[in-house]
Amino acid sequence: MKISYNKLFEILEQRNITKTELRENIGISTATLAKLSKDEPIAMKVIGDICNFLNCQPGDIMEMEKEVDKTTLLYRMREEKQIKLKGGIYHQTQVKLAYNSNHMEGSKLTEDQTRYIYETNTIGLEKEPVNIDDIIETVNHFQCFDYILDCAENVLSENIIKKIHQILKSNTSDSRLEWFRVGDYKQRPNMVGDSKTTPPGNVKKEMQRLLFEYQQKETIAFEDIVEFHYYFEKIHPFQDGNGRVGRLIVFKECLKHNIIPFIVDERYKLYYYRGLKEFENERGYLIDTCLSAQDKYGELLKYFVEDANTST
């Protein structure tokens, strides 16, 4: 078991309290603060002092994290990522998730072109012109996926969500617009189809409320992750990129809770969009679409798992 103080730093962020202010108010040393940042054990008296200052319980600021189970998909993907294994589940997921998620949002790159970019880090010459932003966002998506693998076990937070957006939209033409706010919440109202989303001035409050309610759940099931995805897309917190950020969050949370993830196939995006639009009246549309996508990814996962078991 490993101690984690992620929840403490989430509370500090939500209350706009800096680490320096925490240290000065409870009289701890910079060395102790460094231990908190590194998730190292500290004296229970310090935990008590922090709780008194924040008016909370120890369980609100710290938790025991389990050691990574080597049989999980998360462990396998991290291992394959580290050794840069070609042709494995990590490789296939990178290509399929980037292609389908980007294509749903208007990218003209084919799956073969996406695979070529991932495998060679180059662009093949095409007869038809290719949008530079499509290429940049494809490469960025690969980096986003690596990021969610790195932080998969962390409590989902505003910082993580904003970081995903920052990686996804960096160096795009959008990022050159001062008001676009890469890695931060939107400044201008936006819509999903003909549906209004949360006004910019209310986004931070609504995101904090959504994350708080999600974190209060004792256990997270598949349906909880789908529900979170719906409300995230309803808020639509960023100027652009909400769909891709939302689907990356879904994948991260599935990995965290050892639930088989899913990739929404762009060929079925109309069913997916219908599910999002009608979720509050009929949850079954979106949940069934996601379950079908989970079944498809499960078949891919089963191939790699069974093959590995047969080989040992």
Sequence-distant (6+) residues with CB within 8 A of 23 are 29, 30, 32, 33
pLDDT score recorded for residue 127:
62
Q: For residues 235 and 203, is the Cβ–Cβ distance under 8 A?
A: yes
pLDDT score recorded for residue 222:
98
Q: For residues 275 and 282, is the Cβ–Cβ distance under 8 A?
A: no
Q: Phi and psi of 235, rounded to 5°?
A: -70, -40
Which alpha helices (DSSP H) does the chain contain, by range?
Answer: 6-14, 19-26, 30-37, 44-54, 58-61, 73-83, 89-104, 111-120, 132-150, 158-169, 203-215, 222-235, 242-256, 269-277, 284-311
* C-alpha distances out from residue 273 to 116, 132, 195, 254, Å: 29, 26, 12, 20
Q: For residues 262 and 254, is the Cβ–Cβ distance under 8 A?
A: yes
pLDDT score recorded for residue 125:
58
CATH of domain 2-65: 1.10.260.40
In this structure, what DSSP letter does residue 71 have? Answer: T
259 burial level (CB within 10 Å; 0-12, 13-18, 19+): middle
Question: Does an H or E element contain 166, and which?
Answer: helix 158-169
3-state SS class at 79: helix
First vs last Cα of the chain: how many Å apart?
Answer: 29
pLDDT digits (tens, 9 = 90+) for 196-252: 999 999 999 999 999 999 999 999 999 999 999 999 999 999 999 999 999 999 999
Q: Phi and psi of 64, rounded to 5°?
A: -95, 120
User: What are the tokens at 239?
Assistant: 């100027």
Segments of the chain scoring below 50 in pLDDT: 308-312
pLDDT digits (tens, 9 = 90+) for 57-87: 998 999 876 665 789 999 999 999 999 999 9
Class of domain 73-311: mainly alpha
What is the rounded (10 degree) CA torsion for 189, 203, 258, 251?
20
Sequence-distant (6+) residues with CB within 8 A of 67 are 1, 2
User: What are the tokens at 196?
Assistant: 């209004």
CA-derived radius of gyration, the chain: 21
pLDDT score recorded for residue 112:
94
Question: Does an H or E element contain 191, and which?
Answer: strand 191-192
Exposure of 211 in the CB half-sphere (CA atoms within 13 A) = 20
Domain ranges of the chain: 2-65, 73-311
Sequence-distant (6+) residues with CB within 8 A of 66 are 1, 2
Picking from 285, 280, 244, the residue whose alpha carbon sits closest to that of residue 263 is 244
